[in-house]
């Protein structure tokens, strides 16, 4: 079965930290989670008050998240320097200087072009794109809800057949 990509845009690194913690508490490992953020957002200081046992167990809270968020590849697109971790790293790194830019790279990774444009705009404003490769249709729906509860906007899942309005949002 092909993994289902679930994506959402959070406004701060703290929101990204919460989203990653919640996803990992559901049993997902770091290698299934992607983060895309601008260099400026990467440098944003996060004072984590989360400190939950799940975050401590998986090394995500506080300094663990900082290491996770900064371990990725640096990818340059016209007017935007990004740091990318996780499965999206190879898709975006390979397309860094391609003619389609970030929108084309995200579209190539499975994000619809209209949604990729929204994500590009958010990344330029300092938001963080969180992506998770779900292992099943059911998990994709659950992960979409987790990202929404974590404050993510423009949450999108490949299994969005039950959400026909998604293309209009």
| pLDDT per position as a tens digit, 52-64 | 433 344 444 555 5
Q: Which two tokens stand for residue 24?
A: 């990992």
Rg of the Cα atoms in the chain: 15
Q: Which domain holds residue 59?
A: 4-168
Give the number of domains in the chain: 1
Mean pLDDT of 83-109: 79
Predicted pLDDT at 117 = 93
Identify the residue with better confidence: 166 or 108: 108
Q: Provide the 10 A C-beta neighbour count for residue 63.
A: 11
Whether the pTM exceeds 0.85: the reply is no
């Amino acid at each position: 079965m092909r993994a289902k990509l679930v994506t959402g845009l959070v406004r701060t690194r703290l929101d990204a930290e919460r989203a990653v913690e919640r996803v990992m508490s559901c049993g997902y490992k770091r290698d299934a989670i992607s983060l895309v953020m601008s260099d400026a957002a990467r440098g944003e200081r996060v004072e984590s008050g989360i400190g939950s046992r799940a975050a401590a167990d998986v090394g995500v809270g506080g300094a663990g998240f900082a290491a996770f968020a900064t371990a990725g590849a640096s990818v340059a697109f016209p007017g935007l320097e990004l740091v990318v971790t996780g499965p999206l790293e190879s898709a975006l790194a390979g397309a860094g200087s391609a003619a389609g830019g970030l929108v084309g790279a995200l579209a190539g990774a499975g994000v619809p072009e209209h949604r990729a444009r929204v994500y590009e705009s958010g990344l330029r404003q300092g938001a963080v794109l969180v992506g998770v490769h779900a292992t099943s249709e059911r998990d994709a729906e659950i992960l979409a809800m987790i990202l929404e509860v974590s404050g993510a906007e423009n949450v999108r899942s490949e299994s969005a057949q039950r959400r026909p309005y998604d293309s209009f949002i």
